[in-house]
Amino acid sequence: MIAKLHPEDRDQVLETIAAAATSQGDLQLEHRIIRRGETAWVELRGKVFVDAQQQPTRMAGVCMDITDRKRTEADLAEYRVRLEELVEQRTAELQASHEKLRLSDRLASIGTLAAGLGHDMGNLLLPIRARLASLESMNLPPAAQQDIDAVKNAGDYLKRLSQGLRLFALDPGEQREGESTHLSAWWLDVSPFLRNILPKQVMFDASIPENVPAINIPPHTFTQVVYNLFQNAGDAMRPRERGNVQLRVVGDQASEVVLVEVSDDGPGMTEEVQRRCLEPFYSTRTRRISTGLGLALVHGAVTNAGGSVEVQSQVGKGTTFRLHIPRAAFVNRLRPSAGKTPMACVAVADRRLSAYVTSLIRGLGMELYAEKWSADMPAELLVLDSVNGCAEEFERFLGERPTHRAIILHGETVPNKAKQTVFLGGQATPGRIRQALQQMLQEQSPITQEAIHS
């Protein structure tokens, strides 16, 4: 029996038995033995018998194999530990997601606040501008005029700030048909707002060519993209005495993709950070508000717009984000030779609809041919109510120059000229007209009715 005792338990077993004999108490002990080369557990229960002089004479008892019970107990203990670990892990995850939710709520509240503030500022600035205009009409002395000019300048700055706030606060995922960003005009609106998110010691400048085409991303989404890049650059340079942030746009009328570059001369990123910085929830910030979503939002918004994001960074040198964004879907293909502005003629009897179409055409960069239309007029596009009574002239207008286009709002269609015309029938709503104009001007291939109604 003693030979079978597990070497690690042997001393304790012998000591316990000896102690039981001395004390004459009951024996109860669990220990290991070696059985057929394997460890097994047993439970000893025994009783000490004594003689008349109260001297121990023998010990009797049972030895039960409790290996299975011990194994079950060990398994249970392991499960308990694992369960505790899991509970701890899940609690931490729950706390983290609660924290993110709280932060999202807070950011949503900040967004609502910013939108409301931007709107209310805009609403208050208009009466201020109107009052200033009233004052200006009073022939004030030059000194008073200077004061008015200064207030107007401050008001203009606030107007742009309010516009920037509104652009910042709109849901970046919200995209409405046909929305694009005209970079020069956009920059005028948002530059005061973006200036404010950079630390005072950081200088910034922008270079945007005048002839860069509009890009295929809504202004509010693009504002939030650039906001995040500026915020990151600003945060990186906050501890420094000075720094520079630059927004540079490269593109011209011929570009299908516009490059928007935001660069800083801050501390730069390590290769690891550079590789992971566009991942959702990845953040190097340990304090301040951070959802880890800033650059992921940049990446998501730009790829949604059909573009791509490139990061280039060097520790100690700075970081450059390059956004390659396609130009806006609308491209006026009616570009006549010698760089002339394309012309359109609107022959629509309803004065309001005519005015609307005219404004749309001007908005699309075309000039208006104001005289009565004819087959020989120097306009490439004709919008008219119907070809009733002028079918021959109409056919001549389209027939002699196959690149010419026409939109017929009402009346009959012209089947043999279907490749050059869009017939809106009873559906000449503003939206349909706008859509027809855009489709027509950007298509080089034959236009079909289905293309408009799809």
Partner 1 sequence: MSRRPIRLMCVDDNQMLAEAMERRLNADDRFTWTGWVENTDELLPRVEAAHPDIILMDIDMPGADVFELVAKLGESFPESRVLMFSAYVRQDYIDRAVQNGAWGYISKNEGMNGILGAIERAAADWALRPCHA
| Positions in the binding site for partner 1 (CB under 8 A) | 119, 122-124, 126-134, 137-138, 159, 163, 166, 176-179, 182, 185, 219, 351-352, 354-356, 358-360, 363, 429-431, 434
The distance of closest approach from Cβ of residue 198 to partner 1 in the complex, given in angstroms and rounded to an integer, is 24
The distance of closest approach from Cβ of residue 351 to partner 1 in the complex, given in angstroms and rounded to an integer, is 5
Going by C-alpha positions, the residue among 432, 452, 429, 427 that lies closest to residue 442 is: 452
**Of residues 70 and 129, the one with the C-beta less far from partner 1:** 129
What's the token pair of residue 305?
Answer: 């717009």
Which H or E run includes 81?
helix 67-136
**Of residues 223 and 420, the one with the C-beta less far from partner 1:** 223
Which H or E run includes 404?
none
Judge residue 378's burial from the number of C-beta atoms within 10 Å of its C-beta, 0-12 exposed, 13-18 middle, 19 or more buried. Answer: exposed
| Contact predicate 405/419, CB 8 Å | no
**Of residues 25 and 178, the one with the C-beta less far from partner 1:** 178
* CA 234/CA 218 separation, integer angstroms: 24
**Of residues 180 and 421, the one with the C-beta less far from partner 1:** 180
| Contact predicate 244/203, CB 8 Å | yes
Going by C-alpha positions, the residue among 222, 219, 313 that lies closest to residue 275 is: 313
The distance of closest approach from Cβ of residue 330 to partner 1 in the complex, given in angstroms and rounded to an integer, is 12
The distance of closest approach from Cβ of residue 282 to partner 1 in the complex, given in angstroms and rounded to an integer, is 34
Per-residue burial over 282-320, b = 16 or more CB atoms within 10 Å of its CB, e = otherwise:
ebeeeeeeebbbbbbbbbbbbeebebebebebeeeebbb
The distance of closest approach from Cβ of residue 382 to partner 1 in the complex, given in angstroms and rounded to an integer, is 19
**Of residues 363 and 402, the one with the C-beta less far from partner 1:** 363
The distance of closest approach from Cβ of residue 427 to partner 1 in the complex, given in angstroms and rounded to an integer, is 11
**Of residues 39 and 359, the one with the C-beta less far from partner 1:** 359
The distance of closest approach from Cβ of residue 434 to partner 1 in the complex, given in angstroms and rounded to an integer, is 7
* CA 331/CA 255 separation, integer angstroms: 11
The distance of closest approach from Cβ of residue 229 to partner 1 in the complex, given in angstroms and rounded to an integer, is 22
**Of residues 176 and 288, the one with the C-beta less far from partner 1:** 176
* CA 12/CA 450 separation, integer angstroms: 93
**Of residues 34 and 133, the one with the C-beta less far from partner 1:** 133
Dihedral of alpha carbons 428, 431, 432, 438, sign: positive
What's the token pair of residue 134?
Answer: 């009233």
